[in-house]
Amino acid sequence: MTQKKTRTILIIGIAVAVTVIAVIVINKTKKTGLMQAPGKRGGSSVVSVRSEEATIQTLNDYVITNGEVESQSAIEVFPSMNGKIASINVMLGSHVNKGDVIAKVDPSEPGTKYALSPVEAPISGSIVSSPSKVGAKVSTSTAITMIGDIENLQISAPVPERYVAELKPGLKAEVTLEAYPGVIFSATVSRVSPVVDAATRTKEIILNFDKKDSRINAGMFAKVKLYTSKYAGCIAVQKDSIVSQNDNSYLFVVNDDGTVSKRTVKTGKTVDNLIQITDNLMTGERVVVEGMLSVSDGARVNDIAQPKPAASPEKAAEDEKTAEKSRGRK
C-alpha cells in the first residue's frame, strides 16, 4: 500500500510539473510571437477584407416630396346669385361643354319666391373638384366646383424651405403613383413659386409630365424624386468605407504586396451610399469597403474581391497532362 501511494503521489507530481512547464512555455511563446495562430504569418494576422476599385462617378442629388396631380388649367365656377343649391347636374369627372347648366341656385328668401338661377359652365372640360351638395348655402363668391382640362395634367408639390436655393425651372424628376407601384413617370419643373408659405415653410413647384399617359388621373397622390444637383467628374466610394477619427477621414487602400495603407482623404458631397473623395485617391486604386475596422496601417490582408491570377499557358498545359495521366490510370 505504501509503494502504491508513493507511486500515485509521484505521478501526480510529475503531471503538475509538466502542466506548469507547459504554461510557462506558452506564455513565453505568446510574448515573443513565435507561436502562430491559424491564418497568421510571420507573427502578423492576415485579415480577409473586400475592396472596390475607385472610379469616376456622377452623383445626382435629390429631394423627396409628395404632391397631387391636377389639371394644368382649371377654372372655379361661381353662381350669379346668393341662395341655396337646388340641384346639381354633374359629378366629379363629368365632362361638360361651355354653356351647360351644371347646377341651379334658389335665391328665394322667407316670404318670397324667385325663379331658380342656373349656373353654367364657363368653359368646356371636366369637373375636377367635388361639387357642392344640394341644400348648401352659396354666394357669388362661393365656388361651386372647378372645371379643368384633364388631357393636360401637372403636379403641384411643396418643397421644404432649406432646398429653395436649388429650385429652378427645368429640373428633372421621377414620379411614382400609388395606383402603379414600380412604374416611374418622368416630369420637369415648369414653375417655381416666388414666395415661401409662411405657415408650412415650403415653396410650391409645378411639374409637367414629359409624356401623356392615360393611366394618370387628376387627383392622384404623387411621390416626387426631384433631382436638384449633379456632381460629375469626381472619384466616389462607398460611404461606409470611410473611417472617421479626430475630425479626420481615413480609408484603407490595398497595396500590390497584399498590405493596406491607412490614408487621410478629403471628402465632398454624399448621395445615398456614395461619397466624393476630392483629394489623395486615384482612380484604379482599390479601397477596402468591408473589414476596415479589423485592419490597421500596414496590415496584411486577403482581398476576397481580387480575382486570382490566371495560370500561365505552360502551367495550364502541364496541369492538363497530369489530369490526362490520372484519368488513364483509372
What is the chain's pLDDT, residue by residue, as a tens digit (330 residues)?
A: 555 556 666 666 676 666 656 655 455 444 333 233 344 443 458 899 999 999 999 999 999 999 999 988 889 999 999 999 999 999 988 999 999 999 999 999 888 888 999 999 998 889 988 889 999 999 999 999 999 888 889 999 999 999 999 999 999 999 999 999 999 999 999 999 999 999 999 999 999 999 999 999 988 999 999 999 999 888 999 999 999 988 899 999 999 999 999 999 999 999 999 999 999 999 999 999 999 888 999 999 998 876 655 555 665 566 566 556 555 555
What CATH number is given to the structural domain containing 88? 2.40.50.100
User: Tell me, what's the pLDDT at 162?
Assistant: 94
Residue 90 belongs to some domain of the structure: yes
User: Tell me, what's the pLDDT at 7?
Assistant: 64
269 and 236 within one domain: yes
107 and 50 within one domain: no
Answer for the pair 297, 282: CB distance below 8 angstroms, yes or no.
Answer: no
Rounded CA-CA distance 315/264 in Å is 42
Classify residue 34 as left (phi > 0), alpha (psi -120 to 50) or beta.
alpha
Residue 10 belongs to some domain of the structure: no
Rounded CA-CA distance 153/326 in Å is 74
Rounded CA-CA distance 184/246 in Å is 43
Residue 197 belongs to some domain of the structure: yes
Residue 320 belongs to some domain of the structure: no
Answer for the pair 236, 274: CB distance below 8 angstroms, yes or no.
Answer: yes
Which of 114, 132, 148 terminates a domain? The answer is 148
Q: Is 119 in a helix, a strand, or coil? A: strand
User: Tell me, what's the pLDDT at 30?
Assistant: 41
237 and 172 within one domain: no
Give the CA distances from residue 41 to residues 29, 34, 142, 151, 300, in Å, rounded to whole numbers and listed in that order.
15, 10, 85, 73, 9
Which of 120, 148, 176 terminates a domain? The answer is 148
207 and 239 within one domain: no
AA letter at 274: L
Contacts for 264 with CB less than 8 Å, ≥ 6 apart: 248, 249, 250, 280
User: Tell me, what's the pLDDT at 320?
Assistant: 63
How many angstroms from the chain centroid is the CA of residue 179? 21
User: Tell me, what's the pLDDT at 305?
Assistant: 78
Residue 3 belongs to some domain of the structure: no
Give the CA distances from residue 83 to residues 75, 103, 304, in Å, rounded to whole numbers and listed in that order.
21, 12, 80
Total domains in the chain come to 3
Side-chain-side CA neighbours of residue 138 (13 Å): 29
What CATH number is given to the structural domain containing 254? 2.40.420.20
DSSP assignment of 5-31: HHHHHHHHHHHHHHHHHHHHHHHHHHH
Rounded CA-CA distance 135/149 in Å is 28
107 and 128 within one domain: yes
The DSSP secondary-structure symbol of 294 reads: G
212 and 200 within one domain: yes
Give the CA distances from residue 291 to residues 178, 195, 245, 296, in Å, rounded to whole numbers and listed in that order.
40, 49, 16, 10
Residue 313 belongs to some domain of the structure: no
Answer for the pair 43, 33: CB distance below 8 angstroms, yes or no.
Answer: yes
Rounded CA-CA distance 309/289 in Å is 22
Which of 106, 128, 148 terminates a domain? The answer is 148
User: Tell me, what's the pLDDT at 28?
Assistant: 45
User: Tell me, what's the pLDDT at 110?
Assistant: 86
Task: Give the structural domain span for 272.
Answer: 46-58+232-303
Q: What angle do CA 270, 275, 276 make, to 5 degrees?
A: 105
Q: Is 247 in a helix, a strand, or coil? A: coil
What CATH number is given to the structural domain containing 196? 2.40.30.170
258 and 246 within one domain: yes
Residue 213 belongs to some domain of the structure: yes
User: Tell me, what's the pLDDT at 29?
Assistant: 40
Residue 309 belongs to some domain of the structure: no
User: Tell me, what's the pLDDT at 45?
Assistant: 81
